[in-house]
Amino acid sequence: MAGISSALTSNLLQTLKTPFKTSPFTNPVCVGFPLTFKNPRRPVSVSAQASEVADVEARRLYVGNIPRTLKDPELENIVGEFGSVEKAEVMYDKYSGRSRRFAFVTMKTVEDANAVIEKLNGTEIGGRQIKVNVTEKPLVNTDMSILQGEESTFVDSPYKVYVGNLAKTVTSESLSKFFSEKGKVLSAKVSRVPGTSKSSGFGFVSFSSEDDVKAAISSLNNAVLEGQNIRVNKA
């Protein structure tokens, strides 16, 4: 037994004295099984991101002067006759729930977008001549902050009127001043095409009482404001 024990001890010591075979790419405990290092995913460059944004903008169309009754699926079917539609969305006012008479449609390719502009711009839907073009360019930060300020400072009220057919030159300030002649105006705002300074052609005016609302409708409906006959009704 002593001879066997001595032999085992001798073999063990000899094994421990044997140097490990190492390399920069192998685990010393697992000789013969090199570690695999996968290349990390390359980050998307700024220029690639800008190119992707530009591609989306070139495929996104503004469709204006649509009927109020037109819904997303109907618009998608109409536009889909001239190309593949990725998304169609009619815009609604968050206060009145009424259609804002414009929509955004994103096509799957730039070629499809160009085809829709060529085929649909100036045609009629529901008796209204629609406008189709590539969406407006985004505002610079300073202009956007001004418009966000207008939105955040608007004082909502149960006593409110919708004002349609506004001239593009009408501002929230001039709208408020115009209606102040017929009642106590709490606030006024001109709605804008999302992401741009372009007027949507309508707005809202809030008052302090129901009598002011009635007076505004009876006195100013079909009145001329900056060269256009406006429509005024209860919101």
pLDDT digits (tens, 9 = 90+) for 53-77: 567 778 999 999 999 999 999 999 9
Tokens 């929509």 locate to 103
Position 193 scores a pLDDT of: 75
Question: In this predicted model, which residue has the larger pLDDT, 38 or 190?
Answer: 190
DSSP bridge pairs for 185: 207
Segment 1-23 mean pLDDT = 50
- 10 pLDDT band (50/70/90 cuts)? low
pTM, to two decimals: 0.42
Segment 117-146 mean pLDDT = 72
Distance, in Å, from the CA atom of 107 to the CA atom of 216, rounded to the nearest integer, reads: 43
Q: Is 209 left (phi over 0), alpha (psi -120 to 50) or beta?
A: beta
User: With the C-alpha atoms ordered 101, 106, 110, 112, is the resulting torsion angle positive or negative?
Assistant: negative
DSSP bridge pairs for 89: 104
Position 22 scores a pLDDT of: 46
Position 30 scores a pLDDT of: 43
Mean pLDDT for the chain overall: 77
Contact present, 165 and 233 (Cβ < 8 Å): no
Segment 185-208 mean pLDDT = 85
Position 165 scores a pLDDT of: 92
Q: Is the pLDDT of residue 136 over 60?
A: no
| Tokens encoding 126 | 């529901």
Position 154 scores a pLDDT of: 81
For 71-113, write each residue's pLDDT tens digit. Answer: 999 999 999 999 999 999 999 988 788 899 999 999 999 899 9
Tell me what percent of the residues of the chain surpass a pLDDT of 90. Answer: 41
Distance, in Å, from the CA atom of 181 to the CA atom of 223, rounded to the nearest integer, reads: 13
Q: Which of 175, 189, 178 is nearest to 147 (CA)?
A: 189
| Tokens encoding 23 | 């390399």
- Of 41-55, 95-109, 153-167, the one with minimum mean pLDDT is 41-55
Q: Is the pLDDT of residue 18 over 60?
A: no
